[in-house]
Amino acid sequence: MIYTTTHSRDCYNRLNVNMKTPIIFIFFALLTIISCSKNDDTLEVNLTATELLNVSYGTNENQTFDLFLPENRSQTSTKTIVLIHGGGWTSGDKADLITVYDYFKTNTNEYAIVNLNYTLADLNTSPIPLQTNDINFFIQYFKENASEYNVNPEFAFIGTSAGAHLSMLYGYKYDEDKDVKVICNIVGPTDFLHESYLNTSEPETTELITNVQTLYGMSIAENIEFYESISPFYAVNEFSPATISFYGDEDFLVPEEQGIILKEALDNYNIPNEYILYEGEGHGWGNPNFLHTLQKIEVFLTANFN
């Protein structure tokens, strides 16, 4: 709401009468100020769609995000979708999800859309807690600025691959304020201790789990408790966000079993969830399944985020 100061002052002046003023004049003056107040209450700002690029939420050059703010947004009704890219925790960029970003900009006016970058890991700096901390820094920054953006600081995460892993781990384990209401998991690893990783003859699957152990500088056998702590599967609880998951039955980086066991864990706690498996697809897919994924996410958000 905005209030026109001059307009309100005029209303007041019309009522500033002395005791000798006829009663009927005072009556009409009261009607005038009531009318003025009513007009002020209904005078609203017509917010136009706005896009902000490379907004910094930290000091690292990778701690940036793009933000689309829809027209006629509201601090009560306009919630926020956050896109979190993949890249094996060591590479990737928000530009990788530009198609998803553009889809929600074009097809819905209900949400603010964030396309998030985060600090990339390397052999000297492991992904966790580096990247979950970055997500938390972003969440706190966005909450502090939500009134400026005119949006509601409740979040739905859409993550792909490593970004899906980070989305789930943050949403299930580190989101102390329960700001994340929905997670959309696209081919995210959920349990590094599962037999689909530990007992496999697939070269790509072996390569991924080997790379994970290299990043953390220790083998799974050396520290089972640690790998359990960074596996979203073990953090599922009765307060976990509603989750929709997508996998391909020919994905040898993140086998479909990773999604199946997650669904079982969510079902055990009666968390609203869906599991979609695409036949003949690997670690990502094109149309028509890509469009189907986005449409399914949109429906899931309508049911669980609005």
- DSSP letter at 49? P
Contact at 8 Å (CB) between 220 and 213? yes
- Residues 148 and 261: their CA atoms lie apart, in Å, by 41
Q: Where are the beta strands (DSSP E) in 154-264?
A: 155-160, 180-186, 242-248
In this structure, which CATH number among 3.90.330.10, 3.90.550.10, 3.40.50.2020, 3.40.50.1820 belongs to the domain 50-304? 3.40.50.1820
| Number of Cβ within a 10 Å radius of residue 151 | 24
The 8 Å CB, 24+ separation contacts for 274-278 are: 274/243, 274/244, 274/245, 274/300, 275/244, 275/245, 275/247, 276/244, 276/245, 276/246, 276/247, 277/247, 277/248, 277/249, 278/246, 278/247, 278/248, 278/249
What's the confidence (pLDDT) of residue 45? Answer: 60
What's the confidence (pLDDT) of residue 175? Answer: 98
What's the confidence (pLDDT) of residue 15? Answer: 37
Peptide bond preceding 288 in cis form (omega within 30 of 0): yes
Domain-wise residue ranges, the chain: 5-41, 50-304
What's the confidence (pLDDT) of residue 13? Answer: 40
How wide is the angle at C-alpha 81 spanned by C-alphas 80 and 85, nearest 5°? Answer: 145
What's the confidence (pLDDT) of residue 25? Answer: 40
The 3 state secondary structure assigned to 100-126 is: HHHHHHHHCCCEEEEEECCCCCECCEC
Q: Print pLDDT tens along the chain (306 aa).
A: 333 333 433 433 433 444 444 444 433 443 344 444 444 333 346 799 999 999 999 999 999 999 999 999 999 999 999 999 999 999 999 999 999 999 999 998 999 999 999 999 999 999 999 999 999 999 999 999 999 999 999 999 999 999 999 999 999 999 999 999 999 999 999 999 999 999 998 999 999 999 999 999 999 999 999 999 999 999 999 999 999 999 999 999 999 999 999 999 999 999 999 999 999 999 999 999 999 999 999 999 999 998
